[in-house]
Amino acid sequence: MHDGHAARQVVDIITGSWQSQALYAAVALEIPDHIAAGHTTDAALATATGSGTDGITRLMRLLLAMGVFGRSPEHGYELTPVSEVLRADSDSSMRDMIQLYGEEFHTAWGAVVPAVRTGSSGFEHALGTSIHAYLASDPGAGAKFQRAMNAGNVFFPDVLDAFDFSHCRTVMDVAGGSGQFLSMILRAHPHLHGVLLDLPHMIPVAHDHLDAAVGPDRYEAVEGDVFASVPEGADAYLLSRVLQDWDDDRSVTLLSNIRKALPENGRLLVVERVIPEEGAPELLPLLYDLHLLMAAGGRGRTLDGYGDVLTAAGLRLESVHPLALETTLLVAAAA
């Protein structure tokens, strides 16, 4: 007997990428910004985006049904809470994240079969280079990637409630990217001094953000390879969504370097998505686990998995704190 429910479920799953690409098209064509500027009809949006009216009508019909936009007889197309965060001038804009997911990451997912077969990066299969080499060599790619990652960092403020920084003097963000995580902590705790450690191509990006966010006297940005060594001198070390990009051997190497630098009363703060126990309802960590394979050849881990790499590096998992968007703060100390 034909199972109509199963068939519908298959269709809903397989067309999910069409919805994400429609959202990407809205951002790439800057439709939320055009609507905010008063272009609220199909004809006006077609002119503003340099598109044909028929294509815009059909795209907007889908986006209306998805709840991305609204429409009224008096005013035409209107922004919803979803499309408000797609505007370029929104304080919490997610447009850079959507562009990265709709372009590079969408291409990487096209290589899902060879990535699963080989256990290596879909990005590399699809684009012929690793994501790390791409970010280091392509002009502007590192900054674009960091803007995209920052758009998904709504869980950062939860760390301030989960960990007491009052006893620290210096905080080091290891592989800290643009420094958004570090700057949030420094703004919340004016007594702290910050250090950001990352590869040379990320240092100008970090300077731009940190100078504007906290001022040049509150931090220093240091060039370095975290797999070679991590400087001493901090009371708390931050590692936000870094271990997810690396296999266990490389992760243990990095964690061992932090352990060598960590004072006996210091703490390591690891922010990652933890894969839930089998049967748990959370789908997002499982989606991101496979996405990590597509993007960088990385992997998510269970709580036991993170405990294993911490233990192998001479660290012990001290406490676990749930954050927003199924993200977790793991606090580790010297074993």
Going by their DSSP bridges, the two strands 193-198 and 170-174 should be labelled as parallel
Other CB atoms closer than 10 Å to residue 69's CB: what's the count?
A: 22
Numbers of helices and strands, H then E, in the chain: 18, 9
pLDDT bracket for residue 278 (50, 70, 90): confident
pLDDT score at 155? 79
Tens digits of residue pLDDT in 73-107? 999 999 999 999 999 998 778 999 999 999 999 99
Other CB atoms closer than 10 Å to residue 78's CB: what's the count?
A: 14
What whole-number distance in Å separates Cα of residue 149 and Cα of residue 93? 11
Query: Residue 80: exposed, middle, or buried by beta-carbon count in 10 A (0-12, 13-18, 19+)?
Result: middle
Mean pLDDT (the chain) is 93
Residue type, 4: G
Q: Is the pLDDT of residue 307 over 60?
A: yes
Tens digits of residue pLDDT in 205-250? 899 999 999 999 999 999 999 999 999 999 999 999 999 999 999 9
237 neighbors 269 (Cβ within 8 angstroms):
yes
pLDDT bracket for residue 2 (50, 70, 90): low
Percentage of the chain modeled with pLDDT above 90: 82
271 neighbors 327 (Cβ within 8 angstroms):
yes
CA distances from 21 to 25, 26, 50, 94, 305 (A): 6, 9, 19, 15, 33
pLDDT score at 331? 98
Return the SS3 of 45.
helix
Tens digits of residue pLDDT in 154-199? 778 899 999 999 999 999 999 999 899 999 999 999 999 999 999 9
Q: Would you give the DSSP letter of residue 283?
A: -
Residue 91: both structure tokens together: 């304080």
What whole-number distance in Å separates Cα of residue 263 and Cα of residue 69? 52
Q: Which of 184, 147, 152, 145 is nearest to 326 (CA)?
A: 152
Other CB atoms closer than 10 Å to residue 19's CB: what's the count?
A: 15
pLDDT bracket for residue 252 (50, 70, 90): very high
Phi, psi of 28 (to 5 degrees): -60, -35
Tokens 């070390």 sit at which residue? 237
Tokens 């001290």 sit at which residue? 318
pLDDT score at 152? 63
Phi, psi of 188 (to 5 degrees): -75, -25
